[in-house]
Amino acid sequence: MISVGILGGSGYAGKKLLQFCTSHPFVSEYKVYGNKTAGTLISDIFPELTGQVTDTKVESIENLSFSHDLYFVALPHGEALKYVPAIIKNGKKVIDLGGDYRLDDKDEYEKWYGINHSSSELLNQKIYGLADYYGTQYSNTNLVANPGCYPTATLLGLLPFTAGFGDEIISSSTIAYSGTSGAGKTPKQDLLMAEMDGDVSAYKVNSHRHQPEILQTLKKFGFNSPFSFTTHLLPAAVGIYATTSVHLRNNVDEKTVKEYYKTFYENSPFVRLREVPPHMTWVVNTNYCDINISINDKVMIITSTIDNLIKGASGQAIQNMNKLYGWDEVLGIKAQGAKNVSVY
Amino acid sequence: MISVGILGGSGYAGKKLLQFCTSHPFVSEYKVYGNKTAGTLISDIFPELTGQVTDTKVESIENLSFSHDLYFVALPHGEALKYVPAIIKNGKKVIDLGGDYRLDDKDEYEKWYGINHSSSELLNQKIYGLADYYGTQYSNTNLVANPGCYPTATLLGLLPFTAGFGDEIISSSTIAYSGTSGAGKTPKQDLLMAEMDGDVSAYKVNSHRHQPEILQTLKKFGFNSPFSFTTHLLPAAVGIYATTSVHLRNNVDEKTVKEYYKTFYENSPFVRLREVPPHMTWVVNTNYCDINISINDKVMIITSTIDNLIKGASGQAIQNMNKLYGWDEVLGIKAQGAKNVSVY
Amino acid sequence: MISVGILGGSGYAGKKLLQFCTSHPFVSEYKVYGNKTAGTLISDIFPELTGQVTDTKVESIENLSFSHDLYFVALPHGEALKYVPAIIKNGKKVIDLGGDYRLDDKDEYEKWYGINHSSSELLNQKIYGLADYYGTQYSNTNLVANPGCYPTATLLGLLPFTAGFGDEIISSSTIAYSGTSGAGKTPKQDLLMAEMDGDVSAYKVNSHRHQPEILQTLKKFGFNSPFSFTTHLLPAAVGIYATTSVHLRNNVDEKTVKEYYKTFYENSPFVRLREVPPHMTWVVNTNYCDINISINDKVMIITSTIDNLIKGASGQAIQNMNKLYGWDEVLGIKAQGAKNVSVY
Amino acid sequence: MISVGILGGSGYAGKKLLQFCTSHPFVSEYKVYGNKTAGTLISDIFPELTGQVTDTKVESIENLSFSHDLYFVALPHGEALKYVPAIIKNGKKVIDLGGDYRLDDKDEYEKWYGINHSSSELLNQKIYGLADYYGTQYSNTNLVANPGCYPTATLLGLLPFTAGFGDEIISSSTIAYSGTSGAGKTPKQDLLMAEMDGDVSAYKVNSHRHQPEILQTLKKFGFNSPFSFTTHLLPAAVGIYATTSVHLRNNVDEKTVKEYYKTFYENSPFVRLREVPPHMTWVVNTNYCDINISINDKVMIITSTIDNLIKGASGQAIQNMNKLYGWDEVLGIKAQGAKNVSVY
């Protein structure tokens, strides 16, 4: 049993984190630390959680205690830099849900995030916690950088092909759509229901911070072909749908590739390989990533979908906690009693 | 540990039932019986349940076995009449999620449902399972009629006032809105996204079958004033929001009424009394019913909201199962670890 | 041909006003006056209007010119008080889309709006412009108070019955739902797509400012029975659906009432009486109000629906302009070429 | 003034066609011909059109008259083949909104549509009516194949670059999302609000019939690089958003390309070039196509958006009618009074 500190936690991903921690069998207690919300009851921030979480007041982050075993950091980028080094120094573990420790390279971070990285020595000590890919290597670190929502969906779809058939790739283009909860809880005119109902728009075209995060991991698998990444908002609260179009040098056999994916994910309880393009609603409110691949005439279309707040944030964070402590990775984020069922 | 049979189960409420039964600690196994879906894998009917439920084929309802301890019946009205008597005769328990056994009076049933009731002797043996109201009287029956979705929301909001202050009522009007999952999974033009997006419409005005169901229970508490009940579809998949306007003879004190509600529901873990009108999203995906009352100048406005598929169907059915067997009524339908928190 | 000034005009109703003025055959030119938006191009405020309106810069409202013939005032309540008296004094006409001149009584205004009314002498000079009811009496005024969105839907539904059968009413309860554009364009957390998707909530229960506005007009028709009015937000951008439940002393004949409604609205080109409850999408993007009535067993249910931004704001404002100038009232707000078609 | 026959017309695009024909200044009358709807009043098929169109009964398509000047054919593919040849033979004009005459090649048609083409001699007599591209060449034909919705959005975005900079293209990938009205009005489970709310899914991956239609036109401009095309449904009723990712051989200058687009569309009143990615709501209910291009580091992202029922069907059909008759192409599909405004 461990004690958990949650920094931030008043946002959409934070809410899920509170729910998961409440029902996790090995989390004995948790405390939430915040700035503006300090002194507020959890049930006043999230009235819907009344009766579903142990109701406590948010502590001021100024009074952050180092007595917890593990800290989930759900702060805006730049803010995590203020707290993570001290927590690590105190010998405790951190899972950072933000972007501050995802990139390996200080310069790359400063270029894309526009701020100085004051604890870049930690960048190479961290694990980039793409939980469904990595196996057992979590034992040597106290710092997990939880992947971004888009990179999770994109990488889980494209990584196996890169690993197994990367030389076949002429070019790849990922075009992803997200529910608006991904844009956060801060009121903005563009995010109003009255604006977003029936709307779609691309944003941060050619400039999204998740692009270098995706490329960094792809490159570790030898990826060296042209790549583009374009994000959109869609009229829904939750979910990410990523479609990756890969142009191929040759007619790669679809069946062979599917077998490769199957083997690649055979120990990944949260990846479901599908025979048809998945529906986003299949994964909403779950920690699953559903993936389909279709190859025809030198074109491979990969569709992958996740719940941006769970698999793309707090669910994967719990999965990473489970891996950090050597527990069954499905604990607290998968319905009890259900046996795994293979799809292919 | 019990064995469960599910008749029907390929609809929206059935899906939730499968999930609840999978993770319920005292359900050792379940089998699904169906007509058109016989022979189909659960994961083909509900691809999203892959890995979340034990995947089995639907049995033909022709081959219904009486070896289970409890049967959930999720069939269209009229259909339950074919199976429930035999199950009861075999000494097994039934929770019927449909309308066939909710009304006490055979004539009333035949008037509203337009078919002959072939097992009306069971009507007075059943319990009308409005789980959050009834206390301990479940021991004497094998048949629970699970309330309709609208009656659940309406009655939980209006019953306490009727019980405590019924003489003050001049008239009551309930106007309720439901997500379209309440209209079922059968394709109809009116229910298409292309029709329903941005749409609202009233339906079955002055003729909804849930009206006699509501009145039957209200009358048991002495209700004898004019009542109206009007239902609408709203552009959402899930949820019911019921607003009841009560015109009063005198200026009843709001605080006194709120105290009465609090006492009325002090042992009801799934009723949350709110100081502000609840949001429907607060209860979606839960078994809660959130209720607010506001009294001003001889007008009382009651707002109550539920998830139509959970509290209004399968969640309440599980709660009724828990009560039938004398188990903690929150088992399998409430997040583990969370303590109850009072709101007022 | 007239010249028009638009005060405000950067909100949702303002946008429609710009479109209507652009294509109205008797509006030769218009100018928009604003505060925060002064100096901004219309097409920067509303990129979607590019090419659809004559693109000009918003003038500072500080430099308001009195050279226009007619002024549409689309300002927050309280703000209109600063400009309307001077416009009237300069002999020009005003159609106020806000709430400042709707109530007849200064005290009532100050009670509900919480501010002092500095030009209450105008309250009795104005016409309350419920355009589909009033006939020819627009010639004696320069000031039209454009009705609120909820009052428009509610009154058009309930007024005829009040006028013809008011003595039969025991009590009435209007429960109305609105798309979130009714709450305006200012960013608020509660109005985010991420919050509102799949949500419903009641608001301003027993305290909405449109209640005295509705009652003021009803009382002119002898209405003196209990009334309640409750508003909700629904997950849509546009539209109002109002359901009024009327409890009756006797079994009033439905057919007789329908005939009365038909006669009442025989000269109202924008009221469509329906044989079934209307769908909200039937009226969205139009100036219509669709109404259905159903009477059964001493209960009358009136459903009425409008586009809150058009019939509930700018469309009715144009209709009022047409009436002020003695033009065909459908000019600029009804598709050309279509002949009227009776429904009953 | 012309007389118009509409074959089909009970679907979503048909409804818009009726509205446009009603208010078009040069359409004196129209008649609707149908199968299942024969004998039904327009206002019974589309209650929302009551008072907005001249209400008539649908004629049986068996009794098709050749006395009209122009025929809009809005039938499922395969059905148009039965009527178009006879109309043409009678010397009348046809605008076919379906897919039967879009492809130039009989074999290609039969491969993708799976049926025999019985009037392939017409394939080379038709004009492929991508109205915003083609200039004055409509005089020599009686048959216009109205483009598909996806091809309209995709081609208007990609054609100029192909024409001006085609040699720079390594590969292109179009990933498009459509509101569900594009899937038609026939009830299907997958299209229910209860399924589609909050959902996204790809469909017809690597097999959509609009792919050969797009390629056919691209190739006329020399396009000969790898292309992929993937379609999705999104939780909205109306609109298409197409994002095309183009990988480039060199760093093409964005400003130069933008100037080229501007010149390309300088006479196209319905194309709006945007400095930011367009919002889909900007074009819904209009005949506009809004386009943005962004080039960075050998990646060009083209976003283009249309109303699938208007620019992608009936609005473009009216535009094509205007061009066939040599009328101002904006007649009947653009707000009166508005002057065109350039965006760049």
Stretch 46-75 of chain B: residues touching chain A, C-beta under 8 Å? 47-48, 50-55
Q: What is the mean pLDDT of residues C270-284?
A: 97
pLDDT tens per residue across all 344 residues of chain B: 999 999 998 999 999 999 999 989 999 999 999 999 999 999 999 999 998 887 889 999 999 999 999 999 999 999 999 999 999 999 999 999 999 999 999 999 999 999 999 999 999 999 999 999 876 568 789 999 999 999 999 999 999 999 999 999 999 999 999 999 999 999 999 999 999 999 999 999 999 999 999 999 999 999 999 999 999 999 999 999 999 999 999 999 999 999 999 999 999 999 999 999 999 999 999 999 999 999 999 999 999 999 999 999 999 999 999 999 999 999 999 865 543 333 33
Torsion, CA B93, CA B97, CA B101, CA B103, rounded to 10: 140
Q: How deeply is B167 buried, as exposed, middle or buried, from its count of CB atoms within 10 A (0-12, 13-18, 19+)?
A: exposed
pLDDT exceeds cutoff 50 at C179: yes
Domains and CATH numbers, chain A: 2-125 (3.40.50.720), 150-306 (3.30.360.10)
CA angle D212/D217/D223 to nearest 5° reads 95
B206 part of contact set with chain C, CB < 8 Å: yes
What tens digit of pLDDT does each residue of A241-275 get?
999 999 999 999 999 999 999 999 999 999 999 99
What tens digit of pLDDT does each residue of A45-56 get?
999 999 888 788
Residues C342 and D50: their CA atoms lie apart, in Å, by 8
Q: Give me Rg for the CA atoms of chain B.
A: 20
Given A23, A55, A340, which is nearest B51 (Cβ)? A340
Contacts of A172 (CB under 8 A, 6+ apart): A158, A225, A226, A227, A228, A244, A245, A246, A247
Q: What is the mean pLDDT of residues D240-268?
A: 97
Residue B289 bears catalytic tag: no
Q: What is the DSSP letter of B310?
A: I
Q: What is the mean pLDDT of residues D268-279?
A: 97
Q: What is the mean pLDDT of residues C200-224?
A: 96
Q: Give C85's strand partners.
A: none
Structure tokens at C265: 């609205």
Phi–psi pair at D192, nearest 5 degrees: -65, 145
Interface predicted TM-score (ipTM): 0.95
pLDDT exceeds cutoff 60 at A341: no
- Give the Cβ contact number of residue A256 at 10 Å: 11
Q: What is the mean pLDDT of residues A201-207?
A: 96
pLDDT of residue A158: 98
Torsion, CA C67, CA C70, CA C76, CA C80, rounded to 10: 60
Sole residue written with tokens 């178009």: D84
Q: Inter-chain contact B191–D188, Cβ cutoff 8 Å? A: no
Identity of the residue numbered D294: S
Residue D294's alpha-carbon distances to B115, B278, D255, in angstroms, are 65, 45, 10
pLDDT exceeds cutoff 50 at C342: no
pLDDT of residue A339: 37
What tens digit of pLDDT does each residue of A161-180 get?
999 999 999 999 999 999 99
- Is-contact C232 C177, C-beta < 8 A? yes
Residues B121 and A289: their CA atoms lie apart, in Å, by 51
Residue D130's alpha-carbon distances to B81, C172, D156, in angstroms, are 60, 56, 8
- Give the Cβ contact number of residue D248 at 10 Å: 18
pLDDT exceeds cutoff 90 at D339: no
- Is-contact C305 C240, C-beta < 8 A? yes
pLDDT exceeds cutoff 50 at D124: yes
| Nearest CA distance, B6 vs chain C (angstrom) | 29
Strands C227-233 and C201-203: antiparallel
* Spatial CA neighbour of B258 closest among B279, B231, B276, B240: B276
Residues found in chain C: 344
Sole residue written with tokens 């990179």: A151
- Is-contact D211 D255, C-beta < 8 A? no
The strands making up C27-34's β-sheet, listed across from edge to edge, are: C59-60, C27-34, C2-8, C70-74, C93-96, C143-145, C127-128
- Give the Cβ contact number of residue B50 at 10 Å: 22
A340 part of contact set with chain B, CB < 8 Å: yes
Sole residue written with tokens 């399998």: B332
Give contacts of D198 with chain B, Cβ < 8 Å.
237
Residues A6 and A134: their CA atoms lie apart, in Å, by 24
Q: Inter-chain contact D341–C55, Cβ cutoff 8 Å? A: yes
What chains are in contact with B, requiring at least 3 Cβ pairs below 8 Å? Answer: A, C, D
Q: Inter-chain contact D187–B185, Cβ cutoff 8 Å? A: no
Structure tokens at B191: 């229910």
SS3 (DSSP) at C114: coil
Residues B3 and A335: their CA atoms lie apart, in Å, by 19
| Residue from C193, C197, C199 to probe the interface with A (highest A Cβ count within 10 Å) | C193
* Spatial CA neighbour of A188 closest among C186, C9, C233: C186
User: Over chain A, what is the mean pLDDT?
Assistant: 94
- Is-contact D210 D112, C-beta < 8 A? no
Q: What is the mean pLDDT of residues A277-281?
A: 98
Contacts of B140 (CB under 8 A, 6+ apart): none
How many inter-chain contacts (A to B, CB under 8 Å) are there?
Answer: 89
D78 part of contact set with chain B, CB < 8 Å: no
What residue of A is the nearest CA neighbor of B235? Answer: A197
Residues C90 and C71: their CA atoms lie apart, in Å, by 12
pLDDT of residue A343: 32
* Spatial CA neighbour of D35 closest among D17, D68, D15, D60: D60
Alpha helix (H) residue ranges in C103-148: 106-113
CA angle B203/B204/B205 to nearest 5° reads 90
Residues B61 and D149: their CA atoms lie apart, in Å, by 46
What tens digit of pLDDT does each residue of C238-258 get?
999 999 999 999 999 999 999
Q: What is the DSSP letter of C41?
A: B
What residue of C is the nearest CA neighbor of A309? Answer: C194
The secondary structure of A252-283 as a DSSP string is --HHHHHHHHHHHTTT-TTEEEESSPPBGGGT
- Is-contact B307 B287, C-beta < 8 A? yes
Identity of the residue numbered A336: Q
* Spatial CA neighbour of A200 closest among C10, D267, D177, B102: D177
Sole residue written with tokens 């000590």: A125
pLDDT of residue D135: 65
- Is-contact A71 A5, C-beta < 8 A? yes
Which stretch of A185-199, C46-60, D202-216, D317-331 has the lowest confidence by average pLDDT? C46-60
Side-chain-side CA neighbours of residue D258 (13 Å): 15
- Is-contact B11 B17, C-beta < 8 A? no
Identity of the residue numbered B326: G
Q: What is the mean pLDDT of residues D201-212?
A: 96
B207 part of contact set with chain C, CB < 8 Å: yes
- Is-contact D306 D177, C-beta < 8 A? no
Give contacts of D193 with chain A, Cβ < 8 Å.
none
Residues A338 and A188: their CA atoms lie apart, in Å, by 41
pLDDT of residue A55: 82
Phi–psi pair at D254, nearest 5 degrees: -60, -40
* Spatial CA neighbour of A153 closest among A285, A307, A315, A343: A307
- Is-contact B129 B73, C-beta < 8 A? no
B274 part of contact set with chain C, CB < 8 Å: no
Residues C207 and C35: their CA atoms lie apart, in Å, by 30
